[in-house]
Amino acid sequence: MAVPGAGACWAFIDDRLALFTYGFYPEPLRWRVNLSFVLLILAIIPVLYEKMPGRKYGLWYSAIFPFITGWLLVGGEVNGFGFEPVDT
């Protein structure tokens, strides 16, 4: 049975949506989090659709996705190409 007034406080959620999405990630670097979400969607597609063309390559991408995203979010340099490290 539903209790009146026991639902979510949507004004609070709307006000804190950026905090829920990004945490305390620095604002100028939030594009990395957004890109990670896009890469996540691309990594999920080959897992969900068996008859996708090039699925084998998509599954390989899905396997290395966590490492790519970790490097993207934390920062660091690989073979001279890298990102500014993010302080935690």
**pTM beyond 0.85:** no
Q: Would you put residue 23 in left (φ > 0), alpha (ψ -120 to 50) or beta?
A: left
- Asked whether residue 1 carries a pLDDT value surpassing 60, the answer given is no
Tens digits of per-residue pLDDT, 6-44? 778 888 899 999 999 999 999 999 999 999 999 999 999
Q: How far is CA 8 from CA 14, 48, 66, 88, in A?
A: 11, 32, 32, 30
